[in-house]
Structure 1
Amino acid sequence: MTTIDDVLQTVPEPAGADVRVDTVRYDHEGTVLEGVLAKDAAVTGPRPAVLVVHDWHGVNEHVRARVTMLARLGYVAFGADVYGADVRPGDDTAGQVAGAFYGDLPLMRARVRAGLDRLLEDPDVDRSRVVVMGYCFGGSAALELARTGAELVGAVSFHGRLLVHDPSDAGDVRAKLLVLTGGSDPVVPDSQIAEWQDEMRAAPAVDWQVVTYAGAMHAFAVPDADSPDHGAQYQARADRRSWRALEVFLAEVFDEELAAH
């Protein structure tokens, strides 16, 4: 069985690197939030950055692993906290907690924005080269931040719900979008993907792509997901391929922005 540590080791720390992973407390309108910041202390100067948004369990070891992997690739990475520092729900309450934010999208967007603002405060971040990404709940949240017109070069959703808006605000998206979804995900069925794609097509300036992984259920990139009866299960193949797709996407959007400057 694949563990979070197994996934972490797929991106080894480069020779000479000094990757530091620290817990960071910050605030959003009086609510204390607790995220995770990772970067290579052996590197000096601004570099591209990635904001990572958690799944419905909140900031946990999976988030810590992903920001560490991104830091090993040379990026500054920050795992944002949407829920609040003391809110880390288990399986029995995670749906209810996440549902409260799905029911209040302005608050969801504001909390992700607070994480972005905290990331942008870091002196090692190149503010012109920032991407937001997330898993499940976090994938939806990443796309919601992009809809606010935030100055991002990219937004990536791993098996996130694809929310359609009426009236549409797709025209406000400035980031390039990458949607990575499971071909057997009952939470994100083909009908939902089609509706989202139709909304994006109506905003022709938006650069978007959808990649579907055969046989992959919901949460295919979360190593401890194992509820096939509920349509959620880790799949190593889809996890490996989606991470590679992320790496290619990051290289593309960051290099394009670098060339533009």
Structure 2
Amino acid sequence: MFNSILSSVVVFMAMTSANAAIKTESVDYKEGKTALEGFMAYDDSIKTPRPAVLIIHQWMGVTDNEKMRAQMLAEKGYVVLAADIYGKGVRATSPEEAGKLAGQYKNDRKLFRARGQAAFDLLKKNKMVDPKHIVVVGYCFGGTGALEMGRAGVPAAGFVSFHGGLSNPTPADAKNFKAPVLVAHGALDKGVNPEVMPFMKEMDDNKVDYQFISYSGAVHAFTQKSSGNDPSKGVAYNEKADKRSWAHFMDFLAEVAPIK
């Protein structure tokens, strides 16, 4: 009985110690004259430079969802920065407002890329980070942003889009990708499905190393629990697709930016 209790205490202390090592903080930085505020998570018990992940948010801005994913990745040993595309204090409070904010950047890809570049540069200069192994990942609006960074020639180790928009007004820019791409797509995402074949042609024409994985039964925003559970609305959480896409993401990270 005593040994059982002692073992439980040891396991609890080990778990507590591991959790205590994960540090989170808000990070102020700029793109030009625009003030931005990101969110960073990392394991401060690791003393050597390590791979990093840059997360680009969905259309509402930096939310608890991005912070949760950042902490999940930090627990695996990555230094993680959830970038701020919109600007410090600029957060959508409704889908209508989010649509207007996201539309501004989808219609100005140069600005979209610049905001992503600012976050990448910040992460690259961090002493905890191995600058040759930074992976850019985005959700929905952020998935588009991750692909835009690849099209801009950002020297990341990989680019990942979760249920992101795939449109590109300048397909020839795909020649600038310097690393592999992973796209996790909802098979029933009616808004993005018309963009799938042009995207694949863009990738193929420019000989980009890419994986495109489509999840049956999944609509838009399938990794976000806040999307609800009614696929008929066009956005909904799908637990199976969420878990499968995360596993595929982990495989991708192990290939392009492994934790040693």
TM-score, normalised by the number of residues in structure 1: 0.89
Which residue pairs with 2:51 in the alignment?
48
Unaligned runs of 5+ in 1: 1-12
Work out the CA distance in 2 between the residues paired with 1:60 and 1:181.
Answer: 21
Asked if 1:185 corresponds to 2:192, the answer is no
CA contact (8 A) 2:125 2:131 kept: no
- The offset of 1:185, in angstroms, is 0.5
Which has the larger helix fraction? 2
Q: Is the 8 A contact 2:27 2:40 kept in 1?
A: yes
Counterpart-to-counterpart distance in 2, 1:166 and 1:44: 42
- Give, in whole Å, the separation in 2 of the partners of 1:16 and 1:106: 41
Q: In 2, are the aligned partners of 1:147 and 1:172 still within 8 Å (CA)? A: yes
- How does 1:111-260 map onto structure 2 within 5 Å? 111-166=115-170, 168-189=172-193, 191-204=194-207, 206-226=208-228, 228-255=231-258
Residue type of the partner of 1:152?
A: A
SS of corresponding position for 1:133: strand
Q: In structure 2, what is the Cα distance between the partners aligned to 1:188 and 1:180?
A: 12
- Partner of 1:27, secondary structure, is strand
1:92 offset after TM fit, Å?
2.8
The answer to whether the 8 Å contact 2:171/2:202 transfers is: no
Amino acid at match of 1:67: A
Report the residue type matching 1:110 in the other structure: A
- Cα deviation, 1:167-211, whole Å, max 9, x if unaligned, reads 51111110200000001111211x31111001111112x210100
What stretches of structure 2 of length at least 5 have no aligned partner?
Answer: 1-14
2:165 counterpart letter in structure 1: R
RMSD (CA atoms): 1.6
Q: Which runs of 4+ in 1 moved over 2 A?
A: 13-17, 164-167, 226-230
Partner Cα separation in structure 1 for residue 218 and residue 180 of structure 2: 24
Structure 1 residues 33-90: Cα deviation after superposition (integer angstroms, max 9, x where no partner):
1100100011111000000000000001111101000000110000000001111102
- Structure 1: distance between partners of 2:139 and 2:218: 14
- Return the index of the structure with the highest Cα Rg: 2
Does 1:98 find its partner at 2:102?
yes
- SS of 1:82's partner is coil
Q: How many residue pairs were aligned?
A: 243
Instruction: State the identity as a percent.
Output: 40
